[in-house]
């Protein structure tokens, strides 16, 4: 028996994987994008042949071509697009958002110019008193889509919205849902981990080994904590699955586009070549500038983030930069 209606905006690997997982949990899911050509392909093939090939959509996953119908038929809208597209999507949906609309953000990124988290951007742009939640956690799209066990964190100030999302997302066998009221912490953990994963990819690509990988992950996580606390995040949140959990996953699997991007940079690919080879948005590459600006604004010492930035944007040699970083890192724990 089908339970509830929910819509997902974003037909990339993550948005599609969420749609598949939620539909398998006996919900009616509507999937929409502003790319009509891609919607046509999804509708015909009943599969995302580009990013999740051979995973057939459940019957109760519908491709929606009308943004107006999407909001007429659904009160709960998940936005799962890269951060560089978020403001554009908000501008498109703004005329259709009603007072009883609930927005759930699955975007793991930050507004580049101002350092605003997606939750704040939604509030500022929509200018409506609607319920908003964020979802984040260690969720590789392909594993979520094929039905491997996955855990995610939902954060909101609205407990009723949290309860509803737990009902439609939670599945005791394959999809565990945890909740939090720490909206800042849940978002920040999903942002900085992408940058650290690029650095770990670079380190592994130049052959520094597993010992140093552990150092980069732990010291990089300490930098995340220092910035997060300054921004109002809770330590327990950053230590949870949406913080440390997501960092470990993204830094240690080659299924991670950010880690893979770092590996390619270490192998001598330039930025454009590496982006093209990955073939998807590299959130860490775009977000590192803003995290650097925030570290300067709040006087947070982030040498690992700084080193990765210099490799990506100052064309510094990956090996020499990483070795200099290791010599520079403070020895006091």
147-196, pLDDT tens digit by residue?
Answer: 999 999 999 999 999 999 998 888 877 889 999 999 999 999 999 999 99
Q: What is the dihedral of CA 124, 130, 131, 133, to 10 degrees?
A: -30
43 and 119 part of one domain: yes
Please report whether residue 259 resides in a domain.
Answer: yes
Q: For residues 253 and 257, what is the distance between their CA atoms, to the nearest angstrom?
A: 9
Q: How confident is the model at residue 203 (pLDDT cuts 50, 70, 90)?
A: very high
CB 317 within 8 A of CB 276: no
Provide the number of structural domains found in the chain.
Answer: 2
Check 193, 234, 289, 296 and give the catalytic one.
193
Please report whether residue 333 resides in a domain.
Answer: no
Give 36: exposed, middle or buried? Use CB within 10 Å, 0-12, 13-18, 19+: exposed
174 and 268 part of one domain: no
Please report whether residue 25 resides in a domain.
Answer: yes
Active site residue 222: no
Does 1 score more than 70 pLDDT? no
97 and 45 part of one domain: yes
Q: What is the mean pLDDT of residues 86-98?
A: 94
What is the pTM (predicted TM-score) of this model? 0.94
Q: How many other C-beta atoms can be found within 10 angstroms of the C-beta atom of residue 148?
A: 11
Does 9 score more than 80 pLDDT? yes
Does 114 score more than 90 pLDDT? no
Expressed as residue numbers, the domain containing 172 is 5-181
- 326: which residues sit within 8 A by CB, 6+ positions away? 212, 215
Q: Is 325 left (phi over 0), alpha (psi -120 to 50) or beta?
A: alpha
Q: For residues 137 and 178, what is the distance between their CA atoms, to the nearest angstrom?
A: 10
121 and 268 part of one domain: no
206 and 163 part of one domain: no
177 and 197 part of one domain: no
177 and 194 part of one domain: no
176 and 193 part of one domain: no
80: domain CATH number is: 3.40.50.720
Please report whether residue 77 resides in a domain.
Answer: yes
Nearest to 200 by CA among 274, 250, 273, 238: 250
Q: For residues 253 and 245, what is the distance between their CA atoms, to the nearest angstrom?
A: 13
Does 331 score more than 70 pLDDT? no
Mean of pLDDT over the chain: 93
């Amino acid at each position: 028996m089908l339970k509830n209606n929910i819509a997902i905006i974003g037909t990339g690997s993550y948005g599609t994987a969420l749609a598949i997982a939620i539909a398998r949990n006996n919900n009616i899911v509507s999937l929409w994008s502003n790319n009509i050509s891609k919607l046509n392909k999804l509708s015909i093939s009943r599969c995302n042949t580009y990013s999740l090939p051979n995973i057939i959509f459940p019957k109760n996953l519908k491709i929606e071509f009308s943004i107006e119908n999407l909001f007429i038929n659904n009160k709960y809208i998940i936005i799962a697009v890269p951060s560089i597209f978020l403001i554009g999507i908000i501008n498109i949906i703004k005329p259709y958002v009603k007072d009883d609309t609930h927005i759930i953000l699955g975007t793991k990124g930050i507004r580049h110019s101002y350092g605003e988290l997606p939750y704040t951007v939604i509030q500022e742009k929509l200018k409506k008193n609607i319920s908003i939640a964020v979802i984040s956690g260690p969720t590789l799209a392909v594993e979520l889509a094929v039905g491997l066990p996955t855990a995610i964190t939902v954060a909101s100030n609205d407990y009723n919205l949290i309860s509803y999302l737990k009902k439609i997302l939670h599945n005791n066998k394959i999809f565990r849902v945890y909740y939090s009221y720490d909206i800042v912490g849940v978002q920040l953990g999903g942002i900085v981990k992408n940058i650290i994963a690029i650095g770990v990819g670079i380190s592994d690509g130049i052959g520094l080994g597993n010992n140093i990988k552990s150092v980069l992950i732990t010291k990089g996580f300490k930098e995340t904590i220092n910035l997060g606390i300054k921004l109002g995040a809770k330590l327990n949140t950053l230590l949870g699955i949406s913080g440390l959990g997501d960092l470990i996953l993204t830094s240690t699997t080659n299924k991670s586009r950010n880690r893979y991007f770092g590996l390619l940079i270490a192998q001598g690919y330039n930025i454009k070549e590496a982006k093209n080879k990955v073939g998807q948005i590299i959130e860490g590459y775009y977000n590192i500038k803003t995290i650097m600006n925030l570290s300067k604004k709040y006087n947070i010492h982030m040498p690992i983030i700084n080193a990765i930035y210099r490799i990506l944007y100052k064309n510094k040699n990956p090996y020499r930069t990483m070795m200099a970083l290791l010599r520079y890192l403070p020895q006091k724990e």
